[in-house]
Structure 1
C-alpha cells in the first residue's frame, strides 16, 4: 500500500517540477518592463516593443531592452524567432542586472547573439565567460575585456545553423550554475563556463532590426 501511495506522489512531483513558465502569453507584455533611453528623453518616440498578431515584436528602434520583472537561475530557455523583413541585429541577454552599464545602454549580462549569420556568438557585457580555444574565438588575450573598447565577442561554433530568412528559428539557451549552452535549430552553437553571473533577468533587445517572437518559454532545472 505504501508503494502505491509513493508512486502517484512521485509522478505528481515530477509533473510540477517539469512545468514550464511562459514568459510571453501571446496577448500582453505582462511580466516585462522596458528600458529605452531615447524614450525616456522624449516620450513622443515610438514604443519599440509591441504585441502584434499574437507575437512579441521588437521594432528595432529606438534602441533598448525589454527585461523580465523576475530574476531566474538554472533553467532552459526556448525561443522561436524570425526577422520580420530585413535581416539585422538583435540578441537575448541572460543573467542581466543593473541598468545601462555599457555605452549607457546595456545592462550587465551575457548576450547570446541573434544577429543574422552570427547567431550564437557570446558578447560579454560587464560580465564574463570562458570557452575552449579562447584566443581563436575571442582574439588576442591582451585585448580581452568586458567594457567599452575591449574584446567582448566570443565567436560561435558554426554560422550555418540559421533557417532561411522569413522562416522560424528555434534557439535554446541552457543556464546551469556557471555554464551557458546554446543550440540553434538543434545544432550546438556555443558553450561557455565560468560565467561571472549565475542568475539574473532575461532581456530582449531592440537593436536596429524588426524581430518577431512567437514563443518565449522557460523550463526550470534542478540546482
Structure 2
C-alpha cells in the first residue's frame, strides 16, 4: 500500500468516530447562481482598479457561470455563511489549469495583494481537493506528510501553505463535469470530489465568511453552485 492510500485509509478511520449529521439538520438548499446574471456576487480584480478597459473575467454564458481565468481575481458572494454544504459542478472548458473555491473568506487582498483571507479548496487539474491556507489555517491528519516539514508551515507569503489531498484519480477526464462538495461545520471542513472523500481538516481558524471563486489563469465553467445550510450544530 503506497503512502497516499495509507493516508486515505487513516482519514477514513478517523471519520468513523465523528458523529454523522442527521438529515433533519439540513435546511432547504438554495442556488447561489441563478443562471442569468451574477446577482449576489461581486468581483475583486486588482487589474480593474484603475483601468476601465480591463474586462471582468467573470461572466454568464449559455446559462453557465464562467471564469475566463484572466485577469486574475475573485468572484465573491455578497453574503457570509456558516455551517453549510456547498455543491459545485465545474469543468475546465479548454486547456486544464488552475482555479479554486475559497471558503470563510474575509479581508480582501490579504495575500500577494490578490487573495482574500480564507481557506482555499483547490480545483487545479489533477490536484482537486488540496487545501491552501490563505492567512487562515487548518489541521489535518498526517500533517507533516501532507504539508512538509513543520518548521516551514505558515499562512503568509513564502510559507508552506499547501495541504495535499488524499486521493489520486478522483477527477473526471478533461471536459467532463466534476462535482465538488465542501462541508463546513464548526471548525471542520470536509471535501468530496465525484463522491470520493478527498480531504478532511479541523481546528480551522475561521468558522464563517464569504465564498469566492477564482480567476487564476484557466477558463472554468460552473453549472451549479448550491448551498445547503446545516441548521443544527454538533459541538
What interval of TM-score do these two structures reach, taking the shorter chain for normalisation? over 0.9
Counterpart of 2:101 (choices 75, 92, 101) is 92
1:202-217 matches, cutoff 5 A: 202-217=211-226
Aligned to 2:127: 118
Among 174, 183, 193, the residue aligned to 1:174: 183
Q: 2:44 aligns with which of 29, 35, 57?
A: 35
Contact 1:73 1:199 in 2 (8 A): yes
Q: After superposition, give the CA deviation of every residue in 1:74-128 in whole Å (9 maximum; x if it has no partner).
A: 0000000000000000000000001100000000000000000000000000000
1:190 equivalent to 2:199? Answer yes
Query: 1:134 & 1:54 partners in 2: Cα distance?
Result: 40
**Pick from 146, 149, 152: which aligns with 1:137?**
146
Q: Would the aligned equivalents of 1:169 and 1:184 in 2 still touch at CA under 8 Å?
A: yes
1:102 aligned counterpart, secondary structure: coil
**Greater strand fraction, Structure 1 or Structure 2:** 1
Shift of 1:42: 1.1
In the alignment, the residues of structure 2 paired with residue 179 and residue 108 of structure 1 have an alpha-carbon distance, to the nearest angstrom, of: 17
Kindly tell me the number of residue pairs found equivalent between the two proteins. 209
Q: Runs of 5+ in structure 1 lacking a partner?
A: 1-13
Q: How does 1:18-167 map to 2 (within 5 A)?
A: 18-167=27-176
Q: TM-score, normalized by length of structure 2?
A: 0.87
CA distance in 2, matches of 1:219, 1:159: 27
C-alpha distance in structure 2 between counterparts of 1:201 and 1:55, whole Å: 21
Distance 2:166 2:52 in 1: 41
The RMSD of aligned alpha carbons is: 1.1
The aligned residue for residue 3 of structure 1 is: none
The higher radius of gyration belongs to 1
User: Structure 1 segments of 4 or more deviating over 3 A?
Assistant: none
Assess if the C-alpha contact under 8 Å between 1:74 and 1:175 holds in 2: yes
Moved more, 42-51 or 123-132: 42-51
Q: Is the 8 A contact 1:66 1:205 kept in 2?
A: yes
Deviations 1:179-200 (A, max 9, x none): 0000000000000000000000
